């Protein structure tokens, strides 16, 4: 289960940070409770993940109000909202009925696109006549009050939710760890709180993403900030390599849904980090090489039915190859081979661009120029002065120059820039 849901505060007093905003919200709710609200609606606005939606639900819970959450941008809802708003009486609790809190989340998404100018206007109208409390929630206050939302400024109480402080976030994360029975290095929590920039939701998500062991050590910090997909793979890999039976490992592999070729690389890269006993490692590689043979046959014979066997060998086979149990946190690596492939792709791209520039200069195709690159390199290396002049003329950047002259690229690039500047001045003052 997602921890942001699991630990979503039920009461306003458990919402961390934003003391002032919470006080204002509470004051407004009390006015409603007493049947004499000064403003019938509030706007909760601010950055994502700071507790706006949570606070709206929490206040309703604290006062035992019913909740009606509606997407206001859906035109079909407008009449329903209006009807609910009109039901009952303002001082309903005095007469015994339950209040209904109408929550319109993402109210700033009411784009006033062509043909729909009614969204904000309908809300304004509803707020004017409502007998039930209304909360509008928006990331962007100005987006909400622009256009026909102008009137909202007057009839709503605006409450800003600010970024939540680092200390409070650390305390919350620590509490969650306690409840989960997880031992954690405080540095990990400090790092998470710093990175999340006041966004409680992403802090909790970060914590959960590295909490697949009952002990989180400092090494886990290196796993933060991976892109979601990489993080998913790390977690899946962990489960596969730690699995004690075939089925668990294979199921994880299906869940991961990564191509068998890539998965093989991931396992190959990280197997030696995980399996510390030599005999385990040897057996595991036996399975991995079998999987590789199957993958080879898939490609050679174009027979994709073998894919499944390859996947089962590299995950299930590898998992049951171990006779020892491994514990603790392992910092996995991104496959070096994949990375170097990406790099060599960039490299080829760079060379091709250079060839294009040279080709134009010597009136030949870039393909021909590509073949001549070594010759150009020799020419550039033979004479720094010449190299700088050519670089200026051809408008080469430092990276391209480094393909030709290696380490000297920086120096020559500078020289070339100087030459270009002089040239420009000469043109400017008509010295030519
Ligand atoms: N101030 C807060 N106190 C405690 N938890 C919070 C807070 N803000 C956000 N969260 C956590 O993040 C999740 C998302 O928060 P939410 O209220 O939906 O943010 P918002 O509406 O501001 O984008 C909540 O379920 C909760 O777990
Ligand atoms: Mg929200």
Residue 224: pLDDT over 80:
no
Looking at 185, 207, 225, the residue that finishes a domain is 225
Looking at 313, 334, 355, the residue that finishes a domain is 334
5 Cα nearest atom in ligand 1 = 25
18 Cα nearest atom in ligand 1 = 1
Indicate if ligand 1 lies below 6 Å from the C-beta of 51.
Answer: yes
Percentage of the chain exceeding pLDDT 70: 92
Looking at 137, 161, 185, the residue that finishes a domain is 161
Q: The tokens of 349 are what?
A: 């791209």
pLDDT of residue 114: 46
| Together in a domain, 246 and 210 | no
Domain holding 405, by residue range, is 339-428
Tell me which of 6, 45, 49, 56 to substitute to probe ligand 1's pocket, judged by most ligand atoms within 8 Å of the beta carbon.
49
| Together in a domain, 125 and 219 | no
Ligand 2 mean position to 103 CA, how many Å? 11
pLDDT of residue 117: 56
For residue 7, what is the domain's CATH number?
Answer: 3.40.50.300
Gap between the Cα atoms of 95 and 6, Å rounded: 35
| Together in a domain, 298 and 360 | no
Ligand 1 mean position to 52 CA, how many Å? 7
- Are 99 and 93 contacting, i.e. CB atoms less than 8 angstroms apart? yes
| Together in a domain, 38 and 21 | yes
17 Cα nearest atom in ligand 1 = 1
Separation in Å, CA 169 to CA 198, 216, 239, 247, 360: 8, 17, 29, 39, 58
Residue whose CA is at the smallest distance from ligand 1 atom 12? 201
| Together in a domain, 205 and 240 | no
Q: What is the pLDDT of residues 63-74, one digit of tens each?
A: 999 999 887 667
| Together in a domain, 184 and 287 | no
| Together in a domain, 86 and 21 | yes
Q: The tokens of 160 are what?
A: 């800003």
| Together in a domain, 8 and 142 | yes
Residue 146: pLDDT over 70:
yes
Mean pLDDT of the chain: 88
pLDDT of residue 209: 81
Residue whose CA is at the smallest distance from ligand 1 atom 11? 201
**212 band by pLDDT with thresholds 50, 70 and 90:** confident
User: In this structure, what DSSP letter does residue 47 have?
Assistant: S
Residues linked to residue 45 through DSSP beta bridges, in sequence order: 138, 160
| Together in a domain, 153 and 192 | no
Indicate if ligand 1 lies below 6 Å from the C-beta of 54.
Answer: yes
Residue 140: pLDDT over 80:
yes
pLDDT of residue 97: 76
Indicate if ligand 1 lies below 6 Å from the C-beta of 270.
Answer: no
Q: What is the pLDDT of residues 83-128, one digit of tens each?
A: 888 887 777 766 667 899 999 987 776 655 544 556 788 889 999 9
* Mean local confidence (pLDDT), 423-428: 74
Name the packing angle between helices 409-428 and 384-394 (round to 10°). 60
| Domains of the chain: total | 4
* Mean local confidence (pLDDT), 339-361: 80
Gap between the Cα atoms of 388 and 365, Å rounded: 23
Tell me which of 1, 6, 8, 43 to substitute to probe ligand 1's pocket, judged by most ligand atoms within 8 Å of the beta carbon.
8
| Together in a domain, 112 and 46 | yes
| Together in a domain, 253 and 150 | no
Residue 265: pLDDT over 50:
yes
pTM for the structure as a whole: 0.60
Q: What is the pLDDT of residues 386-422, one digit of tens each?
A: 999 999 999 999 889 988 998 888 999 999 999 988 8
Ligand 2 is an ion; its neighbours by CB within 5 Å are 53
Tell me which of 196, 201, 202, 208 to substitute to probe ligand 1's pocket, judged by most ligand atoms within 8 Å of the beta carbon.
201
Ligand 2 mean position to 47 CA, how many Å? 9
172 Cα nearest atom in ligand 1 = 4
Torsion sign, CA atoms 250, 252, 256, 262:
negative
Q: What is the pLDDT of residues 333-342, one digit of tens each?
A: 878 776 666 6
pLDDT of residue 259: 82
Residue of 126, 125, 104, 117 whose CA lies nearest to 146: 117
Calculate the dihedral angle through the C-alpha atoms of 391, 396, 398, 403, rounding to the nearest 10 degrees: -90
pLDDT of residue 343: 62
| Together in a domain, 26 and 71 | yes
* Mean local confidence (pLDDT), 343-368: 85
């Amino acid at each position: 289960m997602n921890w942001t849901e699991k630990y979503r505060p039920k009461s306003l007093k458990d919402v961390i940070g934003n003391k002032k905003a919470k006080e204002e919200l509470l004051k407004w709710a009390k006015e409603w409770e007493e049947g004499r609200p000064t403003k019938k609606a509030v706007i909760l606005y601010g950055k994502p993940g700071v507790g706006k939606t949570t606070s709206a639900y929490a206040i309703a819970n604290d006062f035992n109000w019913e909740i009606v959450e509606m997407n206001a941008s859906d035109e079909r809802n407008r009449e329903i909202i209006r009807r609910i708003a009109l039901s009952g009486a303002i001082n309903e609790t005095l007469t015994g009925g339950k209040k209904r809190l109408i929550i319109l989340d993402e109210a700033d998404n009411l784009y006033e696109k062509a043909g729909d100018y009614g969204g904000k206007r309908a809300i304004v109208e509803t707020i004017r006549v409502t007998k039930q409390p209304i909360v509008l929630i928006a990331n962007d206050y100005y987006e909400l009050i622009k256009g026909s939302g102008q009137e909202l400024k007057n009839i709503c109480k605006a409450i800003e939710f600010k970024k939540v402080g680092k200390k409070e976030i650390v305390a919350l994360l620590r509490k969650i760890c306690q409840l989960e029975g997880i031992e954690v290095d405080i540095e990990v929590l400090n790092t998470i709180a710093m990175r999340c920039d006041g966004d409680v939701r992403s802090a909790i998500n970060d914590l959960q993403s590295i909490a697949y062991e009952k002990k989180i050590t400092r090494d886990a910090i290196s796993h933060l900030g991976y892109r979601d997909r990489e993080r998913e793979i790390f977690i899946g890999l962990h489960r596969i390599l730690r699995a004690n039976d075939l089925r668990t490992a294979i199921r994880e592999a299906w869940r991961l849904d990564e191509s068998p070729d890539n998965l093989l690389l991931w396992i190959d890269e990280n197997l030696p980090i995980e399996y510390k006993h030599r005999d385990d490692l040897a057996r595991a590689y036996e399975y991995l090489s079998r999987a590789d043979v199957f993958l080879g046959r898939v490609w050679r014979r174009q027979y994709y039915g073998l894919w499944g066997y390859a996947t089962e060998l590299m995950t299930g086979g590898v998992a049951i190859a171990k006779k020892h149990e491994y514990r603790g946190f392992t910092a996995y690596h991104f496959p070096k081979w994949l990375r170097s492939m990406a790099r060599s792709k960039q490299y080829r791209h760079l060379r091709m661009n250079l060839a294009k520039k040279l080709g134009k200069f010597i009136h030949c195709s870039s393909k021909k120029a590509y073949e001549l690159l070594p010759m150009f390199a020799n020419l550039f290396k033979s004479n720094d002065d010449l190299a700088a002049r050519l670089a200026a003329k051809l408008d080469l950047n430092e990276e391209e120059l480094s393909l030709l002259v290696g380490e000297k690229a920086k120096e020559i690039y500078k020289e070339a820039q100087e030459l270009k500047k002089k040239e420009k001045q000469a043109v400017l003052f008509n010295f030519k």
